[in-house]
């Protein structure tokens, strides 16, 4: 039986561990916060991030990364927010041989994707990324879900595909690591815009327009960076964007909704336990768009609303009154 470690006990890390445990696999779950570690150990529940889900004995929490020394051959799944990923990896006492990222974000200070961060901190390891439309609570509840496993090593992608797939969750494979990681990051920024549209009281016309033009932005940047267009139109692109832009369980959509309602960003974030990746990722997306000479007006307006004091209503007006042009220009 494969030895499995999940690094990060947020909602997704906990739900993913629960899914694997439901298959009968044994999971070692690293919990950063001592208080949460003690709660999971004693009460078998993560009330911070996934309340109401009783964690089976197959999930064993640990709080000290030194534990990794005993499990050097394990498959390590990383469920850490992108802004903390590098610091966590730097504290690894050993280099694992197999690493799978569950994170959907970009390191804003360096513009690094998670595959870059893993390579820079751990060296050359077998690496894969999992992405797609997968709300943590619905995965834990057993709602049928499809996701994508991407790796440059086909055999490793298929190994993870077989490991995680069952009647609740179906995994497909891809070799487009760059495209999958970028889609996962961009969709969070567009989801903030989608939530803002809802918060402002606009209707389905506006949301549909926002999503379809968000897909165009995603396609332009992914193509410019060397990703595959099929990725954008598939599970990790359109699939994940539609979920995050419309589903009420979306943290990024919630941030946008509250902004549309007139709340201050600091106030919104301070009231949330979980990280909304799209907030910091918007900084990176705007810089990448500039670097690759790609037009991304929605992402740019999200950044301006978040960090430049622009009102959501003004951002919408500016998007609607841009120069008229052909759809595919």
State the pLDDT at residue 121.
97
Residue 203 CA from chain centroid, whole number:
26
For each of the domains in the chain, give its residue range(s) and CATH number, in order of start.
4-175 (3.40.50.720), 179-320 (1.10.1040.10)
pLDDT (tens digit per residue) in 219-247: 999 999 999 999 999 999 999 999 999 99
pLDDT (tens digit per residue) in 92-126: 999 999 999 999 999 999 999 999 999 999 999 99
Distances (CA, A) of 138 to 133, 164, 236, 246: 10, 16, 17, 15
- For residues 132 and 146, what is the distance between their CA atoms, to the nearest angstrom? 7
- For residues 145 and 143, what is the distance between their CA atoms, to the nearest angstrom? 6
Mean per-residue pLDDT, 137-155: 98
Tell me the catalytic residues.
187
In degrees, rounded to 5, the angle at the alpha carbon of residue 269 between the alpha carbons of residues 267 and 270 is 65
pTM listed for this prediction: 0.96
Closest by alpha carbon to 192, among 306, 109, 84? 306
DSSP assignments along 101-146, one per residue: E-----BTTTTB-HHHHHHHHH-S-EEEEEESS--HHHHHHT--EE
Read off the pLDDT band of 329 (50, 70, 90). confident
Read off the pLDDT band of 273 (50, 70, 90). confident
């Amino acid at each position: 039986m494969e030895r499995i470690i999940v690094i990060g006990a947020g909602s997704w890390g906990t739900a993913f561990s629960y899914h694997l445990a439901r298959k009968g696999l044994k999971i070692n779950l690293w919990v950063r916060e001592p208080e949460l570690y003690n709660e999971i150990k004693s009460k078998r529940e993560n009330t911070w991030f996934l309340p109401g889900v009783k964690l089976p004995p197959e999930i064993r929490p640990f709080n000290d990364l030194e534990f990794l020394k005993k499990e050097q051959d394990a498959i390590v799944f990383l469920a850490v927010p992108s802004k903390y990923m590098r610091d966590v990896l730097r504290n690894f006492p050993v280099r694992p041989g197999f690493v799978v990222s569950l994170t959907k974000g970009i390191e804003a200070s360096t513009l690094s994707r998670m595959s870059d961060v893993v390579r820079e901190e751990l060296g050359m390891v077998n690496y894969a990324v999992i992405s797609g439309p997968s709300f943590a609570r619905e995965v834990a509840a057993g709602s049928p879900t499809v996701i994508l496993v991407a790796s440059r090593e086909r055999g490793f992608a298929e190994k993870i595909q077989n490991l995680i797939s069952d009647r609740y969750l179906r995994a497909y494979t891809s070799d487009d690591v760059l495209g999958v990681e970028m889609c996962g990051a961009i969709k969070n920024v567009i989801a903030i815009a989608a939530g803002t549209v809802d918060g402002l009281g606009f209707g389905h016309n506006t949301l549909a327009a926002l999503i379809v033009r968000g897909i165009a932005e995603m396609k332009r940047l992914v193509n410019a960076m060397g990703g595959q267009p099929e990725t954008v139109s598939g599970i990790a692109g359109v699939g994940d964007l539609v979920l995050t832009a419309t589903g009420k369980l979306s943290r990024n959509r919630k941030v946008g909704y509250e902004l549309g309602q007139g709340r201050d960003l600091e106030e919104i974030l301070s009231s949330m336990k979980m990280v909304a990746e799209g907030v910091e990722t918007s900084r990176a997306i705007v810089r990448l768009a500039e670097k690759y000479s790609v037009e991304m007006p929605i992402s740019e307006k999200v950044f301006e609303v978040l960090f430049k004091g622009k009102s959501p209503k003004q951002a919408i007006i500016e998007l609607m009154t841009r120069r008229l042009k052909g759809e595919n220009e």
